[in-house]
Structure 1
Amino acid sequence: MSNFDDEREANIARNKALLAQLDISMSNLGIPTPAEKAKSKAKPVQPAKRVKRERGTGTPLPARETRSSTRQKRPVINPNETPAQKKKREKEEEEARRKEEEERLEAEEREREAKRPRHQDLDLDTLGEELDDSQIATLRANFELVLKTVHPRREGDPDRFTFDDDGVDQEAEVVSDLRKRLGKMKVVARAKVCTDRIYSAAYHPEPTKDLIFFGDKHGQLGIWDARAPSDAVDDDHPKSKDTKEDGKYWRLQAHWPATSRSSISSVKFDPRDAHSVFTSAYDRTIRTLSFTSGISREIFSTSDERILIHSIDLPPTGNEMWISDSGGSLTHLDLREDKSKARYYGVSTQKVGSVSINPANPNFLLTASNNRFLRIWDARNLDLLKTLDDEENIQVIEDFLTKSEDGSSCLKSSWEHGKAINSAYWDPRGRSIVSTCYDDKLRFWDVDPSFMTRPSRFPTSRPKNDVSHDCQTGRWLTVFKAQWSPNPDVYPHITVGNMLHSLDIYSCKGELLASLSDPSRITAVQAVTCSHPSVVERAASGNGSGRCVLWAPVDS
Structure 2
Amino acid sequence: MSSDYEVLRLKRIEENQALLRSLQIPTLSKPDVDPISITDKKKARPKRKREDGDTENEPPEPTVRRVSSRLRAIDPDSEAAKEIARIKEEEEAKERERKSRVPGPVHIDTDVTDDAQKFSTIFASFTSTKSTSPPRTANADPSKLTVCVPDAVRFSKERIYSMAAYTKLCGSTVGSFWGDKQGNIGFVGIDMDKARDVKEREGSDYYEDEFSTVKVWEVHRHRPVTSLVWRGDRLWTSSYEGSVRSFDPAHPVFQDHVGDDAYEITTLSMHAGTKFGMFGDTEGMVFRFDPREPSGAKLAAYELHTRKVSCVSLNPAKEHLMATSSLDGSCKVWDTRALKKSGGAALAATQHGKSCTSAYWSEDGERVVTTSYDDTIRILRFWDPMFTQLASISHNNNTGRWVTCFRAQFGGGSASPYVTAGNMSRGVDVYNGKTGAHIAMLSDPAVVSAIPAVNCMVGGEDGGPVAIVAGNASGKVVAWC
Within the alignment, does 1:428 sit opposite 2:341 as a pair? no
**Structure of greater Rg:** 1
Q: Distance in 2 between matches of 1:116 and 1:476?
A: 24
Distance 1:114 1:536, change over 3 A: same
Match of 1:528 among 442, 454, 472: 454
Distance 1:296 1:242, change over 3 A: closer
Match of 1:378 in 2: 335
Match of 2:123 in 1: 143
Q: Distance in 1 between matches of 2:436 and 2:145?
A: 20
Structure 2 counterpart SS, 1:371: coil
Distance 1:439 1:137, change over 3 A: same
Structure 1 counterpart SS, 2:339: helix
CA contact (8 A) 2:313 2:361 kept: yes
Q: Distance in 2 between matches of 1:478 and 1:247?
A: 25
Distance 1:112 1:367, change over 3 A: closer
Q: CA deviation at 1:299?
A: 0.8
With 179-188 and 416-425 compared, the bigger mean Cα shift is at: 179-188
Q: CA deviation at 1:325?
A: 1.2
Match of 2:18 in 1: none
Structure 1 counterpart SS, 2:158: coil
Distance 1:436 1:106, change over 3 A: closer
Match of 1:484 among 400, 405, 410: 410
Amino acid in structure 1 at the alignment position of 2:97: E
Match of 1:329 among 260, 285, 292: 285
Distance 1:264 1:104, change over 3 A: closer
CA contact (8 A) 2:270 2:276 kept: yes
Amino acid in structure 1 at the alignment position of 2:442: L
Within the alignment, does 1:220 sit opposite 2:184 as a pair? yes
CA contact (8 A) 2:418 2:432 kept: yes
Q: How does 1:117-156 map to 2 (within 5 A)?
A: 117-126=101-110, 128=111, 130-132=112-114, 135-146=115-126, 148=128
Distance 1:292 1:180, change over 3 A: closer
Q: Distance in 2 between matches of 1:48 and 1:501?
A: 31
Q: Distance in 2 between matches of 1:277 and 1:242?
A: 28
Q: CA deviation at 1:109?
A: 5.1
Q: Distance in 2 between matches of 1:476 and 1:48?
A: 29
Q: How does 1:385-464 map to 2 (within 5 A)?
A: 386=341, 388=342, 407=344, 410-448=345-383, 451=384, 458-459=385-386, 461-464=387-390
Structure 2 counterpart SS, 1:532: strand
Match of 1:21 in 2: none
Q: How does 1:312-391 map to 2 (within 5 A)?
A: 312-339=268-295, 340-383=297-340, 386=341, 388=342
Deviations 1:300-344 (A, max 9, x none): 02232xx42111111211111010111101111111223413211
Q: Distance in 1 between matches of 2:205 and 2:182?
A: 29
Distance 1:112 1:47, change over 3 A: same
Match of 1:198 in 2: 160
Match of 2:218 among 242, 249, 253: 253
CA contact (8 A) 2:412 2:466 kept: no
Amino acid in structure 1 at the alignment position of 2:238: S
Within the alignment, does 1:465 sit opposite 2:397 as a pair? no
Distance 1:144 1:512, change over 3 A: same
Q: Distance in 2 between matches of 1:530 and 1:237?
A: 29
Distance 1:335 1:325, change over 3 A: same
Distance 1:297 1:511, change over 3 A: same
Distance 1:476 1:106, change over 3 A: closer
Q: Distance in 1 between matches of 2:292 and 2:105?
A: 18
Distance 1:246 1:544, change over 3 A: farther
Match of 2:256 in 1: 298
Match of 1:171 in 2: none
Structure 2 counterpart SS, 1:531: strand
CA contact (8 A) 2:184 2:217 kept: yes
Decide which structure has greater helix share. Answer: 1
Q: Distance in 2 between matches of 1:179 and 1:297?
A: 37
Distance 1:546 1:343, change over 3 A: same
Structure 1 counterpart SS, 2:338: helix
Deviations 1:247-290 (A, max 9, x none): 2322211110x2xxx10111011x22x2x211111111111122
Match of 2:57 in 1: none
Within the alignment, does 1:507 sit opposite 2:432 as a pair? yes
Amino acid in structure 2 at the alignment position of 1:468: S
User: Aligned residues, how many?
Assistant: 388
TM-score, L = length of structure 2: 0.73
Q: Distance in 2 between matches of 1:281 and 1:437?
A: 22
Amino acid in structure 1 at the alignment position of 2:113: L
Q: Distance in 2 between matches of 1:500 and 1:237?
A: 27
Q: CA deviation at 1:102?
A: 11
CA contact (8 A) 1:539 1:550 kept: yes
Match of 1:183 in 2: 143
Q: CA deviation at 1:447?
A: 2.1
Q: CA deviation at 1:491?
A: 1.2
Distance 1:113 1:377, change over 3 A: same
Within the alignment, does 1:540 sit opposite 2:469 as a pair? yes
Distance 1:137 1:179, change over 3 A: closer
Deviations 1:43-88 (A, max 9, x none): xxx99889xxxxxxxxxxxxxxxxxxxxxxxxxxxxxxxxxxxxxx
Amino acid in structure 2 at the alignment position of 1:369: S
CA contact (8 A) 1:487 1:532 kept: no
Within the alignment, does 1:282 sit opposite 2:246 as a pair? no
Q: CA deviation at 1:430?
A: 0.5
Q: CA deviation at 1:207?
A: 2.4
CA contact (8 A) 1:485 1:492 kept: yes
Deviations 1:17-65 (A, max 9, x none): xxxxxxxxxxxxxxxxxxxxxxxxxxxxx99889xxxxxxxxxxxxxxx
CA contact (8 A) 1:222 1:251 kept: yes
Distance 1:107 1:473, change over 3 A: closer
Match of 2:228 in 1: 267
Q: Distance in 1 between matches of 2:178 and 2:406?
A: 15
Within the alignment, does 1:240 sit opposite 2:200 as a pair? no
CA contact (8 A) 1:198 1:217 kept: yes
Q: CA deviation at 1:439?
A: 0.4
Structure 2 counterpart SS, 1:411: coil
CA contact (8 A) 1:147 1:291 kept: no
Amino acid in structure 1 at the alignment position of 2:99: K
